[in-house]
Amino acid sequence: MTNDLPEVRERGPGPRPAPPPGGPPMSDVWVYKGRAYDLSDWISKHPGGAFFIGRTKNRDITAVIAAYHRDPAKVERILQRRYALGRDATPKDIHPKHNAPAFLFKEDFNSWRDIPQYRFDDKNDLMHRVKARLSEPALAARIKRMDTLFNVIVATLAVAYLAVQGLRLSDPRWMPLPAFVIAMVVLRSSLAGFGHYALHRAQRGINRVLGNSFDMNYVALSLVTADGHTLLHHPYTQSDVDIKKNVFTMMMQLPRLYRVPLHTIHKFGHMFSGMAIRIADVCRVTRKAGVEQAYGSWRVALPHFLGSSGVRLLLVTELLVFVLAGDFWAWALQFVATLWVSTFLVVASHEFEDDREDEVVEGNDWGVDQVVHANDLKVIGNRYVDCFLSAGLSSHRVHHVLPFQRSGFANIVTEDVLREESAKFGVEWLPARSFVTDRLPKLCRTYLLAPSRLAREKNWDLLREHCSPAAWKASVGYVVAGFVGIGSV
């Protein structure tokens, strides 16, 4: 007989896996709409992949479910029938720092108190109205075609990525230095943009490996940033839970004139050795805490670890090949250009440099909030070309309202729908922001020319900012941190 009432599950007396370092074990609880659920048995069965369930233990997953599912009501029925614990959630069910590294949040941040509470039950809100139109046959068919076209172009770009390096190494006359650097910046940003969308796809099969192409532009490590990006940034954009606005400000501890060279060396350290250390550490913690808690099984986890390790090995191997070929400076120039262009692209899609926290109001329309707090980007003005030149961010507002869509091209063909529905809610549809003429100058002033944090706190002049022992200590520590995999993303 089928019982449609919430099921209260009791756990047997078997041994619990060892907890992660840093605190006592917490109960196996996921919180949805204020109620407690145990999704332990759902981790390995989740159609979207084990990662998304495993990482959200001891979190409120209300916004995650609403954002990443076409039909959240169907998911809710599954939760209530199979996984309900039959009680309201309590503060003890929620990890105070969202089960993530504490340094990513404000010191007084508490997940139970500070998570924005949106209303997702209104079928007439912006998100629901846009999702309803996705089922229109003509639009659904066009989205499917665009996803296929996107994948074909990505495969072509991957071949071009190898060909450009091969031509440069074979005979530099066939690939002059300026052309090589420009081509590598474009190709690395484009492949990282594909990795961006691969992270949003169901983490099953080959996607568990392909998501690691998010690392091709030297900026991030998808193995650890997938959580912060897909599960913290997207559902809670511009709030205190959104760690994306914090991770790129770590360079601000450096004196302004040291910032570019030292951050560049720091990220070289991440590429060369630091991220390999991070991967090994994540693997160690996963084994110690119990792989079932995060991935369901090692069979599911290994593609994530092997894919991430493979990309890091590729990046280091490219460096070594160029050094052995006597063409180190060509590699170095494309590294520096790619790193900084990509870093500014990432922060250009939101105005993190502005203090806009007062605009995040609990209980407002989530979809409207996403539109307001995201920027579409343009580089040359063609959205399909800019989809790759901007690392997938040309239709960024659609991406935030519909983060489950599989490609940037799908977002482009859905943009008219979002714009039309937004107008009905009185949301002004602003033009796409120019990366080169609009966002880049402002970001340079914010991230490169502003005084260091310590200089602002102490009201130091330029000389004291750069010559104080504290500044030197911070600078040395920042460089070392890159090589050991600590510090920034």
* Rounded Cα distance, 240 and 225, in Å: 17
- Of 86, 115, 144, which residue is a domain's last? 115
Q: Is residue 122 part of a domain?
A: no
**Helix ranges (DSSP H) in 352-395:** 366-372, 383-389
Domain span at residue 287 reads 134-433
How does pLDDT run across 342-400, given as a tens digit for each residue?
A: 999 988 988 877 655 444 444 589 999 999 999 999 999 999 999 999 988 899 999 99
Under 8 Å between Cβ of 153 and 404: no
Q: Is residue 320 part of a domain?
A: yes
3-state helix, strand, coil in the chain (%, to 5): 60, 5, 35
For range 91-117, the mean pLDDT: 87
CATH number of the domain encompassing residue 81: 3.10.120
Q: What is the pLDDT of residue 224?
A: 80
Q: What is the pLDDT of residue 10?
A: 33
Domain check: are 326 and 394 in the same one? yes
Q: Is residue 382 part of a domain?
A: yes
Q: Is residue 313 part of a domain?
A: yes
In this prediction, residue 487 has a pLDDT band, given cuts at 50, 70 and 90, of low
Triad 19, 21, 23: Cα angle to 5°: 75
Q: Is residue 463 part of a domain?
A: no
Whole-number percent of the chain with pLDDT over 70: 92
Q: Is residue 6 part of a domain?
A: no
Q: Is 326 left (phi over 0), alpha (psi -120 to 50) or beta?
A: left
* Rounded Cα distance, 87 and 93, in Å: 11
Q: Is residue 42 part of a domain?
A: yes
Domain check: are 209 and 345 in the same one? yes
Decide if pLDDT at 8 tops 50.
Answer: no
Domain check: are 205 and 299 in the same one? yes
* Rounded Cα distance, 169 and 201, in Å: 35
Domain check: are 147 and 53 in the same one? no
Q: What is the pLDDT of residue 286?
A: 84
Domain check: are 334 and 255 in the same one? yes
Domain check: are 304 and 376 in the same one? yes
Domain check: are 161 and 102 in the same one? no
- Whose tokens are 């003005």? That residue is 381
Lowest mean pLDDT among 47-61, 257-271, 434-448, 469-483: 47-61
How does pLDDT run across 276-325, given as a tens digit for each residue?
A: 998 998 888 888 878 877 787 888 889 989 999 999 999 999 999 999 99
Domain check: are 165 and 82 in the same one? no
Domain check: are 329 and 246 in the same one? yes
In this prediction, residue 239 has a pLDDT band, given cuts at 50, 70 and 90, of confident
Decide if pLDDT at 427 tops 90.
Answer: yes
pTM: 0.88
Q: What is the pLDDT of residue 240?
A: 86
* Rounded Cα distance, 26 and 322, in Å: 49
What's the domain count of the chain?
2
- Of 433, 450, 469, which residue is a domain's last? 433
- Of 56, 84, 115, which residue is a domain's last? 115
Decide if pLDDT at 248 tops 90.
Answer: no
**Residue 162: Cβ within 10 Å count:** 10
Domain check: are 357 and 407 in the same one? yes
Whole-number percent of the chain with pLDDT over 90: 66
Q: What is the pLDDT of residue 25?
A: 60
Domain check: are 69 and 164 in the same one? no
Q: What is the pLDDT of residue 37?
A: 96
Decide if pLDDT at 245 tops 80.
Answer: no
Domain check: are 356 and 424 in the same one? yes
DSSP string, 272-317: IIIHHHHHHHHHHHHHHH-HHHHTSSHHHHHHHHHHHHHHHHHHHH
Q: Is residue 191 part of a domain?
A: yes
For range 242-256, the mean pLDDT: 83
For range 58-65, the mean pLDDT: 94
* Rounded Cα distance, 275 and 282, in Å: 10
Q: What is the pLDDT of residue 18?
A: 38
